[in-house]
Structure 1
Amino acid sequence: MSQILKLFNFIRIFWFLILPLVCFGQEKEKPRLELGGAFRVNYVYSSWKEEQKTKGGEFGYDMFRINAKASYKNIFLNAEYRLYSEAFGGGFLKQGWVGYKFNKKDELHAGLVYVPFGIKQYNSHNWFFNITYYVGLEDDHDMGLKYLHTGDKWDYAFAFLKNAEELNFGGGVENSSSRYSYDVVGRNKETNQFNGKVVRKLGQHIKHRIGFSGQYGSLYNIDTNKNGHHYALGLHYEMNWKNWNLKTEAITVSHAPENAPGESNKIIKMGAYGTPYEVASDFNMYTAAVSKKISVNWGPISQIEVYNDFGYMQKKEKEFTDSFQNVTGLLVTAGQVYTYIDYAAGYNHSWLGGNFVDDFSAGNPDAKWEARFNINIGYYF
């Protein structure tokens, strides 16, 4: 009930903020407001959970969200609030920013903005994302300013991100893991991060997008009151040909926190959906994802997209065991209903059969591949 009240309070506050614009623009230009959202349910059958195997899987509530888009002249707003169960972090803001459009190609965003790194919006096709998501390098959102240019041949974006979602404005307080995208949590905090991304667009019949991304920022440690640093560099390529799509990325990442004596610098903590876990401080990551869309006319079903998304995390610490993820599945489109049917397999993967705590850090050399058959049904409005 408390999470539902938070959702209604968010809508009420948003309407309170937008109402003056509505009244102000009645004589000349009226502001625009669009409200949307989604409701999703989920079926899951996991190879490592004996109860699910005995019961034949489980079917339950996944998520409810509200989207709000508003604009007045060249100023606009984009916000999304999500409500999960308490076990997955409860209610939180996925994104929320105010923007200014200089012209048709150039914009400035301020607030909880999309971080310009890698393939936009997703480096994947499936419901689970790719392995990049689980270390904060896919569909990430942080607090700051972003300038972006969308041209005919070049796209580029630059951002200054003051910090990740700061839910407690006080010294010595760890960041909450109740958030949508993965960020550094625990005794370290992301701060003063700079991002840049450049994409070259080529081709007409076969469309190519070749890009480079980089980010560099500080890691503030609560115990030592010192700033360490972190960086990530990525090369990415996307191709669209007829109904085919291909996405590939190669990324190198390093974290150098200023931890207290006795605390390992080989791992950091990252968190989302209410629970943190360990991640190797230094790693390379390689992904490849391919899909094909097929038009059909089966009653309400108009399209099926089949895909396979693969990801590999190569940890630089020699005694750590690498992590893998592969998802094979299809997306069924029927009007406003989108259904993901996925077979997701993982090796040393926290969400796919691991012990959750250290799969993305030290890992387990004796681990075996585990799999999760998942059906997610969502009505998007």
Structure 2
Amino acid sequence: MLNSFHRLFLFLFLGSFSHSSIQAQESPEVDIGGALRFNYNLSSWKPEQKNRGGDFGYDMFRINAVAAYKGIYVNAEFRHYSEAFGGGMLKQGWFGYKFDEFRELQVGLTQVPFGIQQYNSHNWFFNLGYYMGLEDDHDMGVKYQHFGENFEYQIAYFKNAEELRFGDASPVSYSRYSYDVAGNNKEVHQGNIKLLYNWGDSLRSGLGASAQYGGLYNIITKKTGNHYAFAVHYEADYKLWNLKTEVMLVSHNPKNEPDSSEEVIIMAAYGAPYEVAADFNLYTAAIARNVPVNWGPVSNLQFYNDFGYMQKKESSFEDSFMNVTGILVTAGNLYTYIDYAAGYNHSWLGGNFVDDFAAGNPDAKWEARFNINFGYYF
């Protein structure tokens, strides 16, 4: 399957160059931006934090750079979180070439074309799929994309996820923005195809399908298993409303050492690993409505509710849920997310973190975090 994918990608790649008509600019262009964010949170499962009325502190500082010269450009984003959340990390960074207004090639750490993009959510926490590497994921590879008036497609090959250690048998670093398979397994040779059809005027709709298939190389057994995912997704915009819905089927089949379960994989980001069920279905639905206002610097309020349900294939595992209700307040370049995020068997929302997305806890209860994120983007 991967050999066929390589041939298809090469055909599209060479064909695009043969018909290129874009004009390259003669002088360099550079655009520097970034963001500074602070976070307040109050969590139901932290009694001492509740006694002191929550915590307010540093979230993240980032720098964005976009530069272009003679038709070749670079797009990079570096983030620095606190040490406890992984410290410094490159979220994305790729070289690009636009053949014309419809066709583009990207090489480097680029977004994986899977599901609703750029985000399958409206809130600061993302939706449940993000925590399994299925929303706003970025890997190392090459991607070709074609955006037409109605029909668009993306095709990509990823050699591996972000690689920081370059050892002969080194596990992936946990200091990463996107969730990837970690521990004794490493993602290798992944192919992605995404198709999307857009239509409508007053009701703008987009119906799409995504597929990915790749290897899982085990650094202990030296054997390569596989993983795959399929998704059907629909997004609609009507006046001030937005709807995002997605159904995903996901499977991981590692070649682990004999004493290790193949019903669980390890995933990691933000400096910490946790267990995830190897096979699951994921269902998400997110709805939002914008309310334009004129309150001094405040120009818009976006009200939203984002829901996710993880149905695990292993019958002894407990399913996971997530629901976030909130408001995004836009005031010039200051964006403030006010979220009430609730989770059931959710590693980042109560529980024991280690195996909530895998075996889970049959005696778990819903936990919640009230969160306000202040971000100034420049």
User: Aligned-pair distance for 1:92?
Assistant: 0.6
- Helix, strand or coil for the counterpart of 1:321? coil
Letter of the 1:132 partner, please give it.
G
Instruction: Return the alpha-carbon distance in structure 2 between the equivalents of residues 121 and 130 of structure 1.
Output: 12
TM (norm. structure 1) is: 0.92
Task: List per-residue Cα deviations over 1:282-310 (Å, max 9, x = no partner).
Answer: 00000000000110001110000000000
Q: How does 1:64-79 map to 2 (within 5 A)?
A: 64-79=61-76
Structure 1 residue corresponding to 2:133, chosen from 130, 133, 136 = 136
Alignment of 1:319-358 (within 5 A): 319-358=316-355
Quote the offset at 1:170 in angstroms.
1.4
Match of 1:341, as an amino acid?
I
- DSSP 3-state at the match of 1:260: coil
- The amino acid of 2:259's aligned partner reads G
The 4+ residue runs of structure 1 with deviation greater than 6 A are: none
Match of residue 254 from structure 2: 257
Indicate whether 1:271 and 2:289 are aligned: no
The alpha-carbon deviation at position 354 of structure 1 amounts to: 1.4
Aligned to 2:51: 54
2:179 maps to amino acid: Y
SS of residue in 1 equivalent to 2:51: helix
**Residue number in structure 2 paired with 1:280:** 277
- After TM superposition, the score normalised by the length of structure 2 is 0.93
Question: In the alignment, which residue of structure 2 is the partner of 1:163?
Answer: 160
Q: How does 1:11-30 map to 2 (within 5 A)?
A: 29-30=26-27
Of all paired residues, the percent bearing the same amino acid is: 66
The residue type paired with residue 163 of structure 2 is E
Rounded to whole Å, the distance in 1 between the matches of 2:291 and 2:181 is: 39
Match 1:154 to one of 145, 151, 155: 151
2:133 matches 1:116: no
Q: Deviations over 1:242-290 (max 9, x none)?
A: 1100000000000000001111000000000000000000000000000
User: Any idea what SS the aligned residue of 2:125 has?
Assistant: coil
Indicate the RMSD between aligned Cα atoms, in angstroms: 0.6
Aligned to 2:199: 202
Alignment partner of 1:310 is 2:338 = no
Does residue 229 in structure 1 map to residue 226 in structure 2?
yes
| Runs of 5+ unmatched residues, structure 1 | 1-27
Aligned to 2:235: 238
**Amino acid in the other structure paired with 1:238:** E
Q: 1:42 is matched with which residue: 39, 48, 57?
A: 39
User: 81, 87, 92: which is aligned to 1:84?
Assistant: 81
Instruction: Give the aligned residue type for 2:104.
Output: E
Deviation (angstroms), 1:315? 0.1
Structure 1 distance, partners of 2:146, 2:319, is 37
For structure 2, the residue ranges without an aligned partner over 5 or more in a row are 1-24
| 1:289 counterpart SS class | strand
Structure 1 equivalent of residue 95 of structure 2: 98
Alignment match of 2:293 (pick from 270, 291, 296): 296
Deviation of 1:73 (Å): 3.0
Which amino acid is 1:337 matched to? L
Which string of whole-angstrom CA distances, capped at 9 and with x for unpartnered residues, describes residues 313-336 of structure 1? 000000000000000000000001
- Equivalent-residue separation in structure 2 for 1:293 and 1:321 (angstroms): 36
Which residue of structure 2 aligns with residue 24 of structure 1? none
1:377 is matched with 374
